[in-house]
């Protein structure tokens, strides 16, 4: 950290106390950039029997898909409607990234992927792609193609990793191991492709210490971005049933607990990793348990920043470089 004109500037080049995604894009593009979600009609190998059936126990994709994302609409129509939607909410944004979000967005032949990705990139205002997928759903052929695209536009692959512990991954029926996730992240990053990962905290069977130790594991992955989510029990999922049968197996974070937890986690996190999300936010109608009332993401970010300030701490303050 350096002090410029009495203002503390952190290693990521600004005065916010964590390496925030919005500032990262301002630095890259000099302006706000907005993601536009797409449901391109993919399915998921953990649902169709290729890797598993029934999907991850917490998954209900409807809870995360914006209303304009309907796979019956073309990619360009969803982008057009998504841009209109965001223009009404955030007049500031003039550039957009197409976010292939629903299910596993590399789960098709490379020729089909090329058509979909190119359609998105041809839309006015689209500066690049973010492709959400599973770590076991990416071939060398697809990565080679993405490497070529990444040389021409912003391109990130985001992997759902969720936990660094195989015992948990089995418990939530992820259908892949942490070693597979690590390999996918390393291969992707080695090709110069921006690589993101999602993690959930509060999964059954994980202690607070085990979750905090994930900060050290995550810090050693070659990640560009991370998204953190607190476990939310979503209606209509296998996890909702498990929760109803044995709630004592779950230790859902209260807001105060999560605030303490996320500060400790950020302190241990590699300062080079850009933090895109600190919490998940499913619409209240999807929540089987609403542990945090009406707290919204922007309020939560302010509260985390306030606490970082009060404690005079920041992302990476306790990060130890592993040799």
Residue 55 Cβ vs ligand SF4, minimum distance, rounded to whole Å? 3
Told to check if 138 binds ligand SF4 by CB under 6 A, we report no
Whose Cβ is closer to ligand SF4: residue 44's or residue 263's? Answer: 44
Q: Look at residues 156, 179, 32 and name the one whose alpha carbon lies nearest to residue 105.
A: 156
Of 160 and 316, which CB lies nearer to ligand SF4 in the complex structure? 160
CA distances from 26 to 13, 134, 214 (A): 11, 28, 29
Which residue in the set 36, 38, 56, 273 belongs to the binding site for ligand SF4 (CB under 6 A)?
Answer: 56
From 51, 130, 126, 124, select the one nearest 96 (Cα to Cα).
126
Q: Under 8 Å CB-to-CB from 144, ≥6 apart: which residues?
A: 191
Residue 230 contacts ligand SF4 per CB under 6 A: no
Q: Does 315 help bind ligand SF4 (rule: CB under 6 A)?
A: no
Q: Maximum CA pair distance of the chain?
A: 59
Q: Which residues ranging from 116 to 135 are in contact with ligand SF4 (CB under 6 A)?
A: 134
Per-residue x/- track, 151-170, ligand SF4 (CB under 6 A): ---------x----------
In contact, 311 and 17? CB cutoff 8 Å:
no
Sketch the per residue contact string, 15 through 54, with ligand SF4: x for CB under 6 A, - otherwise: -----------------------------x-xx-------
With CB under 6 A as the contact rule, the residue among 40, 55, 108, 240 that binds ligand SF4 is 55
Question: Which single residue brings its beta carbon nearest to ligand SF4?
Answer: 55
Would you count residue 75 as binding ligand SF4 (CB under 6 A)? no
Please select the residue that binds ligand SF4; options are 12, 103, 107, 253, rule is CB under 6 A. Answer: 103
Residue 138 phi/psi, 5-degree rounding, is -140, 120
CB burial string 284-293: b at 16+ within 10 A, e below: eebbbbebbe
**By C-beta, is 200 or 262 nearer to ligand SF4?**
200
Tokens of 82: 């998504």
CA distance 135 to 189: 13
Q: What is the nearest approach in angstroms of ligand SF4 to the Cβ of residue 135?
A: 10
- The token duo for 68 is 């304009």
Q: How far apart are the first and last CA of the chain?
A: 22
176 is a site residue for ligand SF4 (CB under 6 A): no
At closest approach, how far in Å is the CB of 68 from ligand SF4? 19
Contact in structure between 158 and 133 (CB atoms under 8 Å) = yes
**φ and ψ at residue 121, rounded to 5 degrees:** -70, -20
Q: Which is nearer to ligand SF4, 134 or 182 (CB)?
A: 134
Is residue 202 involved in binding ligand SF4 (CB under 6 A)?
A: no
If one asks whether residue 279 binds ligand SF4 (CB under 6 A), the answer comes out as: no
Q: What is the distance between the alpha carbons of residues 176 and 196, in angstroms, rounded to a whole number? A: 17
Tell me the β-bridge partners of 265: none
Residue 280 contacts ligand SF4 per CB under 6 A: no
Which residue, 47 or 182, has its beta carbon nearer to ligand SF4? 47
User: Is-contact 162 172, C-beta < 8 A?
Assistant: yes
Residue number with CB closer to ligand SF4 (52 or 205): 52
Answer yes or no: are the C-beta atoms of 90 and 32 closer than 8 Å: yes
Q: Output the smallest distance, CB 39 to ligand SF4, in A.
A: 11
Binding site for ligand SF4 (CB under 6 A): 44, 46-47, 55-56, 59, 61, 103, 134, 160
């Amino acid at each position: 950290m350096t002090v410029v004109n009495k203002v503390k500037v952190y290693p990521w080049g600004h005065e916010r106390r964590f390496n925030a995604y919005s500032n990262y894009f301002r630095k890259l593009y000099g302006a706000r950039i907005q993601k536009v979600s797409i449901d391109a009609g993919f399915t998921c190998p953990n649902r169709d029997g290729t890797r598993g059936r029934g999907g991850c126990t917490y998954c209900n994709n409807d809870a995360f898909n914006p209303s304009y994302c309907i796979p019956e609409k073309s990619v360009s129509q969803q982008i057009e409607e998504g841009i209109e939607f965001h223009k009404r909410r955030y007049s500031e944004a003039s550039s957009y990234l197409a976010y292939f979000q629903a299910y596993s967005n590399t789960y098709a032949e490379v020729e089909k992927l090329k058509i979909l990705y190119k359609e998105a990139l041809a839309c006015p205002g689209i500066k690049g792609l973010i492709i959400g997928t599973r770590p076991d759903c990416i071939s060398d052929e697809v990565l080679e193609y993405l490497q070529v695209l990444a040389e021409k536009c912003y391109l990130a692959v985001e992997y759902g990793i969720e936990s660094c512990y195989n015992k948990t991954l089995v418990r939530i029926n992820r259908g892949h191991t942490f070693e597979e996730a690590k390999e996918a992240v390393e291969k992707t990053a080695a090709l110069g492709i921006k690589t993101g990962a999602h993690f959930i905290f509060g999964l059954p069977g994980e202690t607070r210490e085990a979750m905090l130790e994930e900060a050290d594991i995550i810090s050693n992955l070659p990640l560009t971005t991370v998204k953190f989510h607190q476990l939310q029990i979503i209606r209509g999922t296998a996890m909702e049933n498990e929760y109803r049968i044995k709630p004592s197996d779950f230790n859902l974070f209260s807001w105060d607990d999560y605030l303490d937890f996320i500060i400790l986690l950020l302190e241990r996190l590699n300062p080079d990793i850009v933090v895109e999300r600190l919490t998940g936010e499913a619409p209240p109608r999807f929540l089987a348990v609403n542990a945090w009332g009406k707290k919204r993401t922007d309020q939560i970010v302010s509260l985390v920043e306030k606490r970082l300030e009060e404690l005079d701490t920041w992302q990476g303050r306790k990060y130890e470089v592993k040799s």
